[in-house]
């Protein structure tokens, strides 16, 4: 049984009143959701509280889950909205950067530069990470979200279209434009090597 299928079975059990099935879903996704929330909130205890709130909201709304998207895609939306709502309620603005520097390693082209451990290679690696981070941070929100969902979360184009509520063609275009911007920023660094 695949991951999507096992999630579907667990969701159906929860919808029929089996709270233990929901515990299994929470255990399966709790670390991913806390990590997701940590992109919005830096305090770890606060992240755990927000993640718990997201799971509570999902549990209350699970009766309306129809399986039109994957369970994690649905849960992802709830967690992001819960984190953003928390920040707004605290009088804080959600961050504009969705990719942490350590996540920059997922960008194409950076992998070829990870092979050496010399100080020069390490310096280049840091420069690449900083450049990618700055470029992603400067992207319009729709491009930044699309590239983050693809490269950091590892979502499929279909899942991203679901999360962003837009056609797959739009997702492909946004990811292409984001990658193009990142590549353009990296070109001067890579050309001088």
Whether 186 and 128 have beta carbons less than 8 Å apart is answered as yes
Record the pTM.
Answer: 0.53
Query: To 10 degrees, the CA torsion angle through 80, 83, 87, 90?
Result: 150
Q: How far apart are CA 172 and CA 163, in angstroms?
A: 14
pLDDT in tens, the chain (193 residues): 677 888 999 999 999 999 899 999 999 998 889 888 887 887 778 888 999 999 999 999 999 998 888 899 899 999 999 998 888 887 766 554 444 434 433 444 444 434 445 677 667 777 887 888 888 888 898 998 898 888 877 788 998 999 899 999 999 999 999 989 988 988 887 776 6
What pLDDT does residue 25 have? 93
Domain boundary among 89, 109, 139: 89
Do the Cβ atoms of 144 and 98 come closer than 8 Å? yes
Q: Which of 89, 111, 143 is the last residue of a domain?
A: 89
Phi, psi torsion values for 47, nearest 5 degrees: -60, -45
- pLDDT value at residue 56: 94
Domain finish residue from 46, 66, 89? 89
Are the CB atoms for 89 and 151 separated by under 8 Å?
A: no
pLDDT score of 38:
81
Residues 74 and 28 in one domain: yes
Domain shared by 120 and 140, yes or no: yes
163 belongs to a structural domain: yes
Residue 43 lies in a domain: yes
For residue 23, what is the domain's CATH number? 1.10.1740.10
Q: Same domain for 83 and 138?
A: no
pLDDT of residue 188: 86
116 and 56 share one domain: no
Q: How many domains does the chain have?
A: 2
Residue 149 sits in a domain whose CATH number is 1.10.10.10
Cβ(63)–Cβ(17) under 8 Å?
no
């Amino acid at each position: 049984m695949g991951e999507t299928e096992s999630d579907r079975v667990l969701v159906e059990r929860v919808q029929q009143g089996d709270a233990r099935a929901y515990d299994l879903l929470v255990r399966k996704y709790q670390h991913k959701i806390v990590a997701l929330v940590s992109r919005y909130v830096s305090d770890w205890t606060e992240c755990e509280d927000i993640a718990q709130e997201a799971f509570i909201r999902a549990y209350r709304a699970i009766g309306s889950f129809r399986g039109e998207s994957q369970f994690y895609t649905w849960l992802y939306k709830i967690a992001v909205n819960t984190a953003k709502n928390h920040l707004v309620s605290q009088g804080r603005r959600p961050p504009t950067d969705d990719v942490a520097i350590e996540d920059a390693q997922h960008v194409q082209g950076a992998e070829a530069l990870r092979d050496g451990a010399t100080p020069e290679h390490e310096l280049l690696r840091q420069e690449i990470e900083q450049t990618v981070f700055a470029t992603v941070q400067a992207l319009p929100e729709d491009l930044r979200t699309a590239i983050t969902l693809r490269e950091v979360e590892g979502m499929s184009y279909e899942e991203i279209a679901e999360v962003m509520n837009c056609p797959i063609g739009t997702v492909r275009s946004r990811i292409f434009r984001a990658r193009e911007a990142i590549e353009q920023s990296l070109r001067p660094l890579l050309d001088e090597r």
